Amino acid sequence: MRKKGLLLVLFSFLVMTIFAGKPIKVVVLDAGHGGNDPGAIGITGVKEKDITLILALKVGKMLETFYPNVKVVYTRTTDVFIPLNRRAQIANEQHADFFMSIHCNSATNSSSYGTETFVMGMDKSAANLAVAQKENASILLESNTKENYGDFDPTSPEAYIIFSLYQNVYLEQSLKVASTIQSEFKNTLHKVDRGVKQAPLLVLWRTAMPSILVETGFLSNKTEEAYLNSAKGQEELAKAMFRGIEKMIKENAVAEQTVTPIQENRTSVQVDTNNVKIDTTDSKLVIDSTKQVNYKVQFMVINRVVTIDKIPDVEIVKIGNGRYKYYSGNMSTYAEATERLQYISAHGYPDAYIVAFDKNGNTMSIQDAKKNER
Ligand SMILES: [Zn+2]
């Protein structure tokens, strides 16, 4: 669907663009469980729902104090039950720029300890699935489960097959803030770093923004239970999560002003509708160097190359870590890009968004792009 005669220049130098995260204006903090859902219960009876609420309120307080321009929204501030899908809904309604769900772990092995942070996605790891099954079991306490999740049985591993095609548009941003928080736990608190992981977590599933779920420690471990239940532990854990979010706030504020191209191996795959051409040997993105602005719609980031049927002018770009970004089109005006975005959103990619590149293939802010349109 490219116009005939349009000069498409494949630029051959290697660049990577930081996909500038959006400035963080609204943060939604989600205290896991609540009400008749206590979550995990520790050895001495400490309840997950109580610890998560304390932590969420503390993180929020820190954000409100140091970043008064950032709006903090809590999914709950008291001991009440909130369905998992409602938590995501709150974040979407608030047009949140970041969503963090706070939890405490438990394991049958009482010596398990450490912190881990999850992003939404399918992973083959049985351990990650076990965490998801445990956290998702909250829906069994909800009243209209069928309406909200269909026949999905959170306790059955087989049920999770439906997530194998899940596409996380915000994966990079989510992974980034997740690893910052894990580093804070590890370096500042000297907590055991169980890593950043992917799991099919219902609370993150429908969120339309970077989102993570933090497991702050094991209530099934006596030492960690005591730490999670102590004022010192709560302060330290909250501070670590706050610092992770703070880093994202600062970086995204800078990213909005200047977008710096840096080096990366990029593999471009040009896919014409119904005619898949895969070139994994070179590193290019289709840019028309005669135009000051090239708009594309980014609609997916996944870890494999797949054929896309309904979307025109698809380009697939390898971005490292075995992941691929999927773009559509090369539009000259924001109006055209918006039209394309609407089409793509309506065809199975509701989280798609517009990205602008200059004639050299460097990303630019949409604001600048609009100014430079011709
Ligand atoms: Zn939990």
CATH (domain of 122): 3.40.630.40
Last residue of a domain, which of 235, 256, 277? 256
**Looking at residue 364, what is its pLDDT?**
86
- Ligand 1 centroid–CA 211 distance in Å is 15
**Looking at residue 248, what is its pLDDT?**
95
**Looking at residue 4, what is its pLDDT?**
32
Weakest mean pLDDT among 10-14, 38-42, 274-278: 10-14
> Do both 230 and 267 map to the same domain?
no
> Do both 62 and 183 map to the same domain?
yes
Between 96 and 320, name the one with better pLDDT.
Answer: 96
| Long-range contacts, 125-130 (Cβ 8 Å, 24+) | 125/197, 125/199, 128/197, 128/198, 128/199, 129/157, 129/160, 129/199, 129/200
271 pLDDT more than 70 = no
Between 3 and 146, name the one with better pLDDT.
Answer: 146
In a domain, 331, yes or no: yes
- Ligand 1 centroid–CA 236 distance in Å is 19
- Ligand 1 centroid–CA 159 distance in Å is 20
- Confidence band of 256 (pLDDT split at 50, 70, 90): low
- Ligand 1 centroid–CA 64 distance in Å is 25
Q: Among positive and negative, which fits the CA dihedral 11, 324, 250, 86?
A: positive
Range of the domain at 276: 9-20+259-372
Residue with tokens 């959170």: 154
- Ligand 1 centroid–CA 68 distance in Å is 29
- Ligand 1 centroid–CA 63 distance in Å is 23
> Do both 346 and 201 map to the same domain?
no
- Ligand 1 centroid–CA 127 distance in Å is 15
> Do both 213 and 276 map to the same domain?
no
Domains: count for the chain? 2
> Do both 346 and 226 map to the same domain?
no
pTM: 0.67
263 pLDDT more than 60 = no
In a domain, 328, yes or no: yes
196 pLDDT more than 80 = yes
- Ligand 1 centroid–CA 219 distance in Å is 11
- Ligand 1 centroid–CA 43 distance in Å is 16
- Confidence band of 374 (pLDDT split at 50, 70, 90): low
- Ligand 1 centroid–CA 177 distance in Å is 20
**Looking at residue 15, what is its pLDDT?**
28
Last residue of a domain, which of 212, 231, 256? 256
- Confidence band of 284 (pLDDT split at 50, 70, 90): low
> Residue 34 is which amino acid?
G
Neighbouring-strand partners of residue 327: 298, 315
- Ligand 1 centroid–CA 295 distance in Å is 41
- Confidence band of 302 (pLDDT split at 50, 70, 90): confident
Q: What are phi and psi of 350, to 5 degrees?
A: -65, -20
> What percentage of residues in the chain have a pLDDT greater than 70?
85
In a domain, 238, yes or no: yes
Spell out where the chain has E strands: 9-10, 16-17, 26-31, 71-74, 98-105, 115-120, 193-199, 211-218, 261-262, 267-272, 275-276, 286-287, 294-302, 314-320, 323-331, 353-357, 363-364
> Do both 198 and 105 map to the same domain?
yes
- Ligand 1 centroid–CA 102 distance in Å is 7
Q: What is the mean pLDDT of the chain?
A: 84
Q: Report d(CA 46, CA 66) in Å as an integer.
A: 30
> Do both 13 and 84 map to the same domain?
no
- Ligand 1 centroid–CA 167 distance in Å is 23
In a domain, 2, yes or no: no
- Ligand 1 centroid–CA 37 distance in Å is 9
- Ligand 1 centroid–CA 44 distance in Å is 17
- Ligand 1 centroid–CA 172 distance in Å is 24
> Do both 302 and 315 map to the same domain?
yes
Each residue's pLDDT tens digit, 30-44: 999 999 999 999 999
> Do both 182 and 263 map to the same domain?
no
> Do both 48 and 197 map to the same domain?
yes
Query: Among 327, 117, 113, 80, which residue's Cα sits nearest to residue 204?
Result: 117
- Ligand 1 centroid–CA 328 distance in Å is 38
- Ligand 1 centroid–CA 273 distance in Å is 44
In a domain, 158, yes or no: yes
Query: Among 134, 122, 129, 117, which residue's Cα sits nearest to residue 33?
Result: 134
In a domain, 97, yes or no: yes
> Do both 129 and 159 map to the same domain?
yes
- Ligand 1 centroid–CA 282 distance in Å is 44
Each residue's pLDDT tens digit, 58-80: 999 999 999 999 999 999 999 99
> Do both 346 and 267 map to the same domain?
yes
Residue 365: count of CB within 10 angstroms of its CB: 15
Last residue of a domain, which of 195, 230, 256? 256
In a domain, 4, yes or no: no
In a domain, 3, yes or no: no
- Ligand 1 centroid–CA 103 distance in Å is 4
- Ligand 1 centroid–CA 249 distance in Å is 26
339 pLDDT more than 60 = yes
